């Protein structure tokens, strides 16, 4: 399953499953959604992060930190 790196409103980065369902709707809603943050243990708004904008170290750390396998 493909995972993407996201960043929550408090700056925590982790990887999550981001299903590209309803592409038109997703575009309208933008690149954010609300989900449970495994770092801060609460529901937060997250946005996708371009992995290329991160250093290799930050990218690996974010990829190693995963939330629950529920999309």
Q: What angle do CA 1, 54, 20 make, to 5 degrees?
A: 30
Q: Which is nearer to Zn ion, 44 or 51 (CB)?
A: 44
Strands (E), 1-71: 3-8, 13-17, 32-37, 42-48
**Residue 48 Cβ, how far from Zn ion at the closest point, in Å?**
14
**Residue 28 Cβ, how far from Zn ion at the closest point, in Å?**
24
Kindly state the tokens that stand for 62: 């974010």
Is residue 49 a contact point for Zn ion (CB under 5 A)?
A: no
**Residue 23 Cβ, how far from Zn ion at the closest point, in Å?**
26
| Cβ atoms < 10 Å from Cβ of 30 | 9
Binding mask 19-38 vs Zn ion (x if CB under 5 A, - otherwise)? ------------------x-
């Amino acid at each position: 399953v493909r995972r993407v790196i996201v960043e929550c409103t408090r700056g925590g980065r982790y990887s999550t499953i981001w299903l590209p369902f309803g592409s038109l709707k997703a575009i309208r809603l933008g690149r954010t959604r609300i989900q449970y943050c495994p770092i801060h243990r609460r529901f937060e708004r997250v946005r996708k992060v371009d992995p290329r904008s991160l250093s290799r170290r930050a990218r690996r750390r974010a990829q190693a930190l995963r939330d629950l396998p529920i999309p």
